[in-house]
Amino acid sequence: MPTGELVKAVDRLLEGRHGRLGAAALRAALVDLYEFWLGKGAAAAGVDLAEPGVALVAVGGLGRRELVPFSDLDLVLVHDGNPDVAKIADALWYPLWDARVGLDHAVRTPGEALKVADEDLRTAVGLLDARHIAGQPALTGRLAAAARDQWRRTARKRLPELAESAKARWQRSGEIAQSAEPDLKHGRGGLRDFGILEALALAQLTARPNEELADAKRLLLDVRTELRRELHRDRDVLSAPDAELVAAELGFGDRFTLARKLSGAGRAVSYAVDVALRSTVDDRPRSRFGRKPSRTPLADGVVLHGNEVALARDAVPARDPGLLLRVAAASARSGRPIAHGTLRTLADSAPELREPWPVEAREALTELLGAGEGLVDAVEALDRTGLWARLFPEWGAVRDLPPRSPVHAWTVDRHLVRTCVEAAKLTTTVARPDLLLLGALLHDIGKGREADHSQLGAAISAQVAARIGLSTSDVSVVSELVRHHLLLPHTATRRDIGEAATVARIVKTVGSDPVLLELLQALTEADSLATGPGVWTDWKAGLVATLVARCTEMMQGKGFSVPEPLEPRYRELVASAVASGRGEVLVSSAGKVATVVLAVPAGAELLAPAAGVLALHSLEVHTAVLRGHDGGRAGIFTASPKFGSLPDTTLLREQFGRAVGGALALTQKLAAKERDYFSATAVKTTPRVLWFDDETSGSHTVVLELRAADRIGLLYRVAGAFRRCAVEVRWAKVATLGGVVVDSFAIAPRDGRLDREWRQKVETEVREAAS
């Protein structure tokens, strides 16, 4: 068959002149047609493949019998020293080039082919698909067997290179799942990744891909086949218009149904590849004597084992309802994957969280949602194992749900997670970062139904917020945040924000609540940034900021609340400290959450030694209140151990006493602790300092509010900044919300004036301490 007839025959197949073939049948027909030409047709054209010591071998799509339209033919002309091999190659390749058939070719002896494979990873993997086309079958068999044997012997040492190559490709091509325009071949979870799974299985490093993965591969192949047939060219990125055509040909009805199926397939493949590479690529640190990797504590019941987040040896998932979220938060915060065995254990034995959730579970959720980029993989791991749906059954309605608007770059579920990632960068701009993160997670949860997604989402988010144990007022804020998440961008870009009526309408809608307004502004930015490139612009940001500023002026609200007076038992502790002239400690606990009250007599420093000693014992401060009473002061701290149990009260009292007297080197000890403790990948946020007038303490006192990322000894450092500036702390109210603190301090200068210069000095020192 002349090559001209070959091209015409391919065109007839693609055009369906004799009946349109299905995707799988079309691929089979293309394989048969090219094989016929490469065998008998080539001989008729004067190419003699019957010569001794010569074999034509197919690799790639032709080798796998998965040839899609407009794919190159990947061919290797193998020989054992035949002197005429160059003539045979020219006679074979030139007709194909003349006919404009895509060709990736090589002429090699088996030894040369194996040498190239030993040096080039792509060639090594490609030879695993080697299949005889024409010539001497024994020569093909010898090469194929040797290539597979070489791969089995060398695969393990080449796995790091394989993993790095895959990651670089994912960086370039994105991912199949949750992508509005997926790259079916090169994207994460695409056909190239399925090839990795097959290569690892052939090396006997992992099991063969299961039926779910085989179905995913068939779908990807079918979509790729129809895309190329419809476009009549070699394209693997599926755009929305092309998806409509492909969906109709494959019987999916519309592109949204197809997109959801593709997203599910891509997630199955990408998760399988992640697990396979983690289980085979051993980059865990080992000692010089080959001991097993250390187990570094990350949270209560959670450790870093090698390069994976795993359960501590004494963890009991069935009795610890918050363990699942602590594992996920540790993974997201550290950027390390959850061990597959840990996920299986949690799926089998982690209990359902009772309503309302316990405090530690709610705090772990906030920490998880505020972890930044690590959140994406942590949620994906939980979702693939059914654990995310156990926490949020409402998630099923938006899982793999494609966007209706072309400006969206992600599926709805991934957009929600990406919004949390962006919101985590803005947590220091709001007084309630926990509510911002929850609102980010749920703001589009109402999509995928016929109802208005904001209205339905408000009702769903209220149910979720109540289930996880938020107060009635906080449930209302989250619901209103979801209900009105489009209010600011729509008003700023479609209305005259210079009109008082426009501003008044916003204020009336948010109920004159400055906290809700602040949250809406941050969510607007996070939502826009997570939608796609170019959605959040300087122009849009300026309009929203101007609108919010005018609304704030109209509200004239305050951003902080004064702590309650001391309870009688705490007053007694202060009296005891005044009488004894030394620091006193009172500890009461409910489970692992403790209330630690530390009292000092007048003139003794309280905040710095109290915060330093608690940090030294790895106690995470959730709230703190400082109050004065009858010549002394008390600090009431709510705290829990990051891991292990509460410290001994006697030791705590002894160290606090030494710290108050200046005999404990807290600065050096805390610096060493922070240096030695596992360095997690924290979200980069800029500390923010706000000033308010304090109407409760007189005109010589102001309130400084600090919003910053939490870190070991942060409160101790802030206290040190106050000491350097000769600041008197009249009262303090501290809140740790996930990975962010929102701390209010009523302060006054011990000497000097409460003027602009003094404020600037204090603000500079506090910012530096929090950075």
Q: Is the pLDDT of residue 557 over 60?
A: no
Please classify residue 65 by burial: count the beta carbons closer than 10 Å to its beta carbon, then call 0-12 exposed, 13-18 middle and 19+ buried: middle
Phi, psi dihedrals of residue 402, rounded to the nearest 5°: -75, 150
Q: Taking phi first (over 0 means left), then psi (-120 to 50 degrees means alpha), and beta for anything else, what does residue 187 get?
A: beta
> What number is the average pLDDT over the span 662-687?
75
Give me the pLDDT at residue 683, please: 67
> What number is the average pLDDT over the span 305-314?
91
Give me the pLDDT at residue 43, please: 67
Model confidence at 630, pLDDT cuts 50, 70, 90, reads confident
Q: Is 508 helix (H, G, I), strand (E, B) or coil?
A: helix
CA distance 706 to 740: 10
> What number is the average pLDDT over the span 517-523?
96
CA distance 266 to 263: 5
Whether the Cβ atoms of residue 418 and residue 410 lie closer than 8 Å to each other: yes
CA distance 527 to 415: 8
- Per-residue pLDDT tens digits for 739-771: 788 888 889 998 878 888 999 999 999 999 998
**Count of Cβ atoms closer than 10 Å to residue 479 Cβ:** 22
Q: Is the pLDDT of residue 45 over 70?
A: no
Q: Is the pLDDT of residue 644 over 80?
A: no
Q: Is the pLDDT of residue 364 over 90?
A: yes
Q: What is the mean pLDDT of the chain?
A: 88
- Per-residue pLDDT tens digits for 422-456: 999 999 999 999 999 999 999 999 998 888 999 99
Whether the Cβ atoms of residue 592 and residue 321 lie closer than 8 Å to each other: no
Give me the pLDDT at residue 289, please: 44
Query: What are residue 740's DSSP bridge partners?
Result: 709, 737
Residue 52: is the preceding peptide bond cis (ω within 30°)?
no
Q: Is the pLDDT of residue 682 over 80?
A: no
- Per-residue pLDDT tens digits for 374-416: 999 999 999 989 999 999 999 999 998 888 777 787 889 999 9
Please classify residue 454 by burial: count the beta carbons closer than 10 Å to its beta carbon, then call 0-12 exposed, 13-18 middle and 19+ buried: middle
Q: Is the pLDDT of residue 461 over 60?
A: yes
Q: What are 454's two structure tokens? A: 């904001």
- Per-residue pLDDT tens digits for 57-109: 999 999 999 999 999 999 999 999 888 888 888 888 888 888 888 899 999 99
CA atoms within 13 A of residue 478's CA, in its CB half-sphere: 30
Give me the pLDDT at residue 692, please: 83
Torsion of CA 746, 750, 754, 755, to 10 degrees: -130
Domains of the chain: residue spans and CATH: 47-156 (3.30.460.10), 174-280 (no CATH), 300-391 (no CATH), 404-557 (1.10.3210), 568-770 (3.30.70.260)
- Per-residue pLDDT tens digits for 588-627: 887 777 899 999 998 888 888 998 999 888 888 877 888 8
> What number is the average pLDDT over the span 542-566?
78
Give me the pLDDT at residue 558, please: 45
Q: What are 107's two structure tokens? A: 């002429």
CA distance 634 to 604: 11
> What number is the average pLDDT over the span 180-188?
92
